[in-house]
Amino acid sequence: MKRLLTGFVVLVLLQSLAHAQTEVFLCVDEHGKKEYKNTGATKGCKKVDLPGITVVPAPTLPASAKKTQGKSASSPADFPKVDEGTQKARDSDRKQILADELKNEEQKLADLKQEYNNGEPERRGDERNYAKYQERVANLKDSISRSEKNVEALKRELANLK
């Protein structure tokens, strides 16, 4: 089935290439407007002789460029290397830092949710104006959303380390 589909696609492509190399006509209407068509059945059309397609080969690379082209992207010889033990220690430190950040962010999220109190935080003494209260509630909601996203990102990052 796959061969049949591949053969069909190749056939369609070859047919479209053959169609692109058919005759071209330049048609001029009564207003002098020029239009190119693949049929010359209308009045005012003349066949146009177009030159064949010219294929230009790709430029050749110098020998030094060919040597470096085959190599994979690696660091230069004088690039500083880190031994395996040092890299493992760095990875361990990174994992610990991320775990600490996750713990702090989860604690911050818990505090924000407690203060938010399901959308009805307690009013403070300096919030006699209801607009100030609403602004604080909106800020708390935004902070909770941001903190939840931070927790998710930190968990993803920790999962990628394992």
Q: Please count the other Cβ atoms lying within 10 Å of the Cβ belonging to residue 59.
A: 5
Sign, CA dihedral 67-73-76-82, equals negative
Q: Which of 18-22, 28-32, 89-93 has the highest mean pLDDT?
A: 89-93
131 in any annotated domain: yes
State how many domains the chain has. 1
CB 116 within 8 Å of CB 110: no
Q: Please count the other Cβ atoms lying within 10 Å of the Cβ belonging to residue 157.
A: 14
88 in any annotated domain: yes
11 in any annotated domain: no
pLDDT per position as a tens digit, 67-116: 555 555 677 888 888 899 999 999 999 999 999 999 999 999 999 999 99
Residue 28 to residue 26: CA distance in whole angstroms: 7
pLDDT at 139 over 90: yes
Q: What is the pTM of this model?
A: 0.49
Which residue range(s) make up the domain with 111? 84-160
Q: pLDDT confidence of 64, banded at 50, 70, 90?
A: low
Q: How many CA atoms lie within 13 A of 143 on its CB side?
A: 18
Give residue 31's pLDDT: 86
Give residue 12's pLDDT: 57
76 in any annotated domain: no
Give residue 47's pLDDT: 83
27 in any annotated domain: no
CB 142 within 8 Å of CB 117: no
Residue 36 DSSP label: E
pLDDT per position as a tens digit, 144-160: 999 999 999 999 999 99
156 in any annotated domain: yes
122 in any annotated domain: yes
60 in any annotated domain: no
CB 115 within 8 Å of CB 121: yes
Give residue 72's pLDDT: 58
